[in-house]
Amino acid sequence: MQKIAVLTSGGDAPGMNACIRAIVLTAEHFGIQVIGYKHGYNGLLEQEYQVLKASNVSNIIQRGGTILRSARCLNFKSDVSAKLAAKNLNALGIEALLVIGGDGSFHGVCHLGAHWQGQVIGLPGTIDNDIFGTDATIGYFTAIETALESIDKVRDTADAFERIFLVEVMGRHAGFIGLSAALASASDHVLVPELCGDLNVELDNIVLRLNASMQKRGNSSFIIIVAENLWPGGVTNLAQVLHEKTNLECRPVILGHVQRGGSPVSQDRILATKLGAYAVEQAMAGESQIMVGEQNNKVVAYPIELTWQQRKPLDPYLVKIQQDFFDISKITQA
Ligand code: ADP
């Protein structure tokens, strides 16, 4: 193998740079040249690229974002685009394309694989951790830390004023960040899609828990973590609804894109480094249409189309702890 390419696509995640670095250093070790495409699949269509050498990836492991930039490329779904991408890859003599991204980007990997005879490999880079076949995705650990840092600060001010805060965290349609951040911040309630039933019942449960907490602790702070895309109108609407039900002051906080930024924590740097190196080795072994991931601390290769065909569950033990700690039936009986 002589030449491979890499691109970062979709939502950026801390650790993408660490992953690019590992790909370049591993490839150089084996005498393989690396082309870095810019702006996700757009770079592939427009032949916007640079040769990546060790000197291009020094001093980036600690940086959030991606030196290759990321982007969405809506017209990549067409056959015409995939054929153009294949032509451009062939023109440069590229044998394998490595794509660091999330679920959407992996659909792009498959789509390209259907139109190009070269090898395609996905690396899971998303803060949402919503990819089946890998225990964690690159960026997830940093996102939890970032959310946690903010929630701790919200708690300080919530305590001082004995207020109710509703904190919206990212996760797309999954509750990994929400559940982890809620547990680690000792928040009083969490709403994530996997554990949420009828929204009216959820609202009643929040009110029950709030009343129980006030009976026990008097006026005090109360923190509710809410996953994005769950409550219609988000936490702003939920705060209003809760205020109308309880006549208590409820403050919404949307953490938003800060969760995508920041220097990656060590777990993300190490995961990114392992997966970057392993992806190059898998390319050299002739593998294609796979995602490289990690399961039980071991690197694995997983068929890429299976990564979105199954929904990754939350850690059942974390769910149990959350439910044991905040058992709503105990409150109802009291
Ligand atoms: P993420 O990779 O973070 O999930 P997106 O869902 O926005 O982000 O997807 C990133 C990009 O992947 C899209 O802008 C598009 O270029 C490509 N993509 C997504 N879905 C498909 C698809 N079904 N076929 C081809 N390309 C796709």
Whether residues 270 and 250 share a domain: the answer is: no
33 lines ligand 1 (CB under 6 A): no
175 lines ligand 1 (CB under 6 A): no
pLDDT tens-place string over residues 216-243: 877 778 999 999 999 999 999 999 999 9
Whether residues 67 and 151 share a domain: the answer is: no
CATH number of the domain where residue 192 is located = 3.40.50.460
Whether residues 302 and 223 share a domain: the answer is: no
Residue range of the domain that includes 156: 140-260
Q: Look at the pTM and tell me if it is higher than 0.85.
A: yes
113 lines ligand 1 (CB under 6 A): no
Of the candidates 78, 80, 3, 9, the residue with the CA atom closest to the CA atom of residue 39: 9
Residue 108 alpha carbon to ligand 1 centre in Å: 6
Whether residues 89 and 154 share a domain: the answer is: no
Residue 314 belongs to a domain = no
Q: Whose CA is nearest to atom 23 of ligand 1?
A: 107
**Higher per-residue pLDDT: 278 or 159:** 278
Mutate to test the pocket of ligand 1, among 7, 76, 110 (most ligand atoms within 8 A of CB): 76
299 vs 304: CA distance, rounded Å: 15
Whether residues 157 and 83 share a domain: the answer is: no
Residue 154 belongs to a domain = yes
Instruction: Please state the rounded mean pLDDT for residues 122-127.
Output: 98
Residue 331 belongs to a domain = no
The angle at the Cα of 196, spanning 255 to 248, to the nearest 5 degrees, equals: 60
Q: What mean pLDDT, rounded, does the chain reach?
A: 95
User: Concatenated DSSP letters for 245-304?
Assistant: HH---EEEEE-GGGGG-SPPPHHHHHHHHHHHHHHHHHHHTT--SEEEEEETTEEEEEET
Whether residues 205 and 275 share a domain: the answer is: no
18 vs 310: CA distance, rounded Å: 28
Residue 312 belongs to a domain = no
Whether residues 99 and 219 share a domain: the answer is: no
Of the candidates 254, 242, 162, the residue with the CA atom closest to the CA atom of residue 202: 242
Mutate to test the pocket of ligand 1, among 66, 100, 107, 259 (most ligand atoms within 8 A of CB): 107
CATH number of the domain where residue 278 is located = 3.40.50.450
Whether residues 18 and 133 share a domain: the answer is: yes
Residue 323 alpha carbon to ligand 1 centre in Å: 35
324 carries an active-site annotation:
no
Whether residues 99 and 190 share a domain: the answer is: no
Whether residues 56 and 192 share a domain: the answer is: no
Q: Whose CA is nearest to atom 14 of ligand 1?
A: 72
Residue 321 belongs to a domain = no
Q: Catalytic one among 12, 79, 103, 128?
A: 128
Residue 177 alpha carbon to ligand 1 centre in Å: 21
Q: Tokens in use for 86? A: 């294949």
In this model, does residue 68 exceed pLDDT 80?
Answer: yes
Domain final residue pick, 203, 231, 260:
260
Domain total of the chain: 2
Report the run of H or E that residue 240 belongs to, with start and end.
Answer: helix 234-246
Q: Could you tell me the pLDDT band of residue 133, with boundaries at 50, 70 and 90?
A: very high
Residue 9 alpha carbon to ligand 1 centre in Å: 8
Residue 324 belongs to a domain = no
In this model, does residue 24 exceed pLDDT 70?
Answer: yes
Residue 299 alpha carbon to ligand 1 centre in Å: 24
Domain final residue pick, 260, 281, 297:
260
Instruction: Please state the rounded mean pLDDT for residues 261-278.
Output: 98
39 lines ligand 1 (CB under 6 A): no
Of the candidates 222, 211, 233, the residue with the CA atom closest to the CA atom of residue 189: 222
Residue 200 belongs to a domain = yes
Residue 197 belongs to a domain = yes
Q: Could you tell me the pLDDT band of residue 332, with boundaries at 50, 70 and 90?
A: low
In this model, does residue 269 exceed pLDDT 60?
Answer: yes
In this model, does residue 322 exceed pLDDT 70?
Answer: yes
Mutate to test the pocket of ligand 1, among 105, 109, 115 (most ligand atoms within 8 A of CB): 105
Residue 195 alpha carbon to ligand 1 centre in Å: 27
Whether residues 273 and 253 share a domain: the answer is: no
pLDDT in the model for residue 29: 98
Whether residues 120 and 131 share a domain: the answer is: yes
